[in-house]
Amino acid sequence: MRKSNSSPSAATAGDARSCPTNSPRCILVVDDDPIFRHRNTEALMRHGYKVKAAEDGGAGWEELQTNQFHLVITESELPKLTGTELVRKLRSARLATPVIMATEKLPSRATQQLLLHPMVTLLKPYTTEEFMDAVRVILGAAQIGDEELAPQNGQPRQ
C-alpha cells in the first residue's frame, strides 16, 4: 500500500513536481522499512533537501513517472518492485537520475553492471553521517555533470 501524503515525513517534505535549478535538490526515498525511510527522510530534510518517500517499489515508480528527482535512494529488497527492478525501469526509460542503493547485502556483479553510474551502495546498518556523505558525493558528481552541460551565459537551456 502506498504511503499517503498525510504522514509526518511526506507532509513536510514538499512537492517535487517543479524543481527549478535554484531550488533545493529533490530526492526520492524508497524503503519498506519505516524506520529507515523516516530516518533518511528526516536527515535529508534537516540538510535542506526536498524529499518524497515511498514504501514500496511500485509507489516509487509512480513517483518517478509523476515527478522529477535529482536523486533516488532505494532499498534493494522491496515489495511490488525490487530496488534493482526499479533502477532497471529507470534506466530503460532513459532517465539518468543517480541512485543510492541501500541494502543489507552487496548486489551481485551482474546486478552492479545493470545499475548504471553514478551509483553508490550503502550497506545497512549505516550511520546518518555515512548516508549524508553518500548523498553529497552523488549530488556533487551529478552537479558537475549539470554544470558541464550548462550554457555559457548562465541561462537555462530551452
* Average of per-residue pLDDT across 135-139: 92
Give DSSP secondary structure letters for 131-156.
HHHHHHHHHHHHHHHHHHHS-TTSPP
Predicted pLDDT of residue 111: 55
- Cis amide linkage into residue 118, ω under 30° from 0: yes
Give DSSP secondary structure letters for 38-79.
HHHHHHHHHTT-EEEEESSHHHHHHHHHHS--SEEEEESS-S
User: What is the rounded distance in angstroms from the CA atom of residue 62 to the CA atom of residue 47?
Assistant: 25
Predicted pLDDT of residue 1: 39
User: What is the rounded distance in angstroms from the CA atom of residue 129 to the CA atom of residue 101?
Assistant: 16
User: What is the rounded distance in angstroms from the CA atom of residue 47 to the CA atom of residue 45?
Assistant: 5
User: What is the rounded distance in angstroms from the CA atom of residue 66 to the CA atom of residue 98?
Assistant: 17
List pLDDT tens digits, range 41-95.
Answer: 999 999 999 999 999 999 999 999 999 999 999 998 899 998 889 988 998 898 8
Predicted pLDDT of residue 157: 34
Task: Out of 20-29, 62-71, 114-123, give the one with best mean pLDDT.
Answer: 62-71
